[in-house]
Amino acid sequence: MSASSIYRRLPLINSEVSLLIATFAFLISTVGFCGGLAVHFYDVDITQMAYVSFWVFDVCMYSMLLIPWLKLPSLTGYTRYQRLRFMVEIWVWFYVLIALTYEIPWVFGYDEIAYAEDELWAYPWWSYIHGGDIRYLHVDLHVLFAEVWACTNAAIAAVALWIWYTSKRTSTTAVYMLMFCAGMHIAPTVQYYSLEAFHSFPNVDTGNVHNFWGKFIFSNSPWLLMPFVVFTWGTMALPRLYGAIKD
């Protein structure tokens, strides 16, 4: 059976690229569900399960962002600009879906989540509280501001994606919107890192490799690094869309 015939048997899969992306996305989306079952029905420690979730998230996230740069058959002939554009598209879809499935429900339901520690439906948030950051239980204005900001940013990016694809990747408006969103990512991320460092990491266990590196560094760093990738892509995309550069 050829590779192309295998892809045709899988929904939404048409190449090794989409298969890899779907695999990593599946792992991210199911680690929380499986972790919840393990904690609630098999007495697995919720903190240890949270650490597993952090590393799965980190590996899958960075792997998806690196896929456009791999020497894969379906990417043969892609230029540097096309690979960069693909990377940015993956990134934007990634943070929009995270906001839709995780951050927006938390913003509207953090009061209920605080009293649902033993409920299976609240496991994804309580896993982060136990293994990552107690601030999401005792919510202060800094946390609420950052999450509302992230949700607003994701909403703008979702509209930008719609404009981008309906214009068949020719809309300068979508590029400007995504660059604007990239800038908006930097502020709350810098705020988070700087406040923790300034106050000697009150909410981060610097002696715990899973909490410090897995959660604090790797899980949050794309929101600080990827905006500059978006800026780079934008400065390459706009001259092409305005016709100043011909590929």
Sign of torsion, CA 60 237 100 129?
A: positive
Distance CA 81, CA 76 (A): 13
**pTM for this model (two decimals):** 0.91
Look at residue 187 in the predicted model and tell me its pLDDT: 87
From the list 104, 90, 24, the residue with the least C-alpha distance to 63 is 24
Distance CA 178, CA 156 (A): 8
Q: Residue with structure tokens 């953090």? A: 110
pLDDT per residue, tens digit, the chain (247 aa), is 445 555 555 555 678 898 899 999 999 989 988 999 999 999 899 999 999 999 999 999 999 999 999 999 989 999 999 999 999 999 999 999 999 999 999 999 999 999 998 899 999 999 998 887 888 888 888 889 889 999 999 999 999 999 999 999 999 999 999 999 999 999 889 988 998 999 899 888 899 999 999 999 999 999 999 999 999 999 999 999 998 666 6
Look at residue 2 in the predicted model and tell me its pLDDT: 47
Q: How many residues does the chain have?
A: 247
In this structure, the number of other CB atoms found within 10 A of the CB of residue 199 comes to 10
Look at residue 247 in the predicted model and tell me its pLDDT: 64
Spell out a b/e string for 135-171, using b for 16 or more CB atoms within 10 Å of the CB, else e: bbbebeeebeebbebbbebbebbbebbebbeeeeeeb
* DSSP symbols for 63-105: HHHHGGGS--GGGTT--HHHHHHHHHHHHHHHHHHHIIIIIHH
* Per-residue pLDDT tens digits for 134-187: 888 888 888 898 899 999 999 999 999 999 999 999 999 999 999 999 999 998
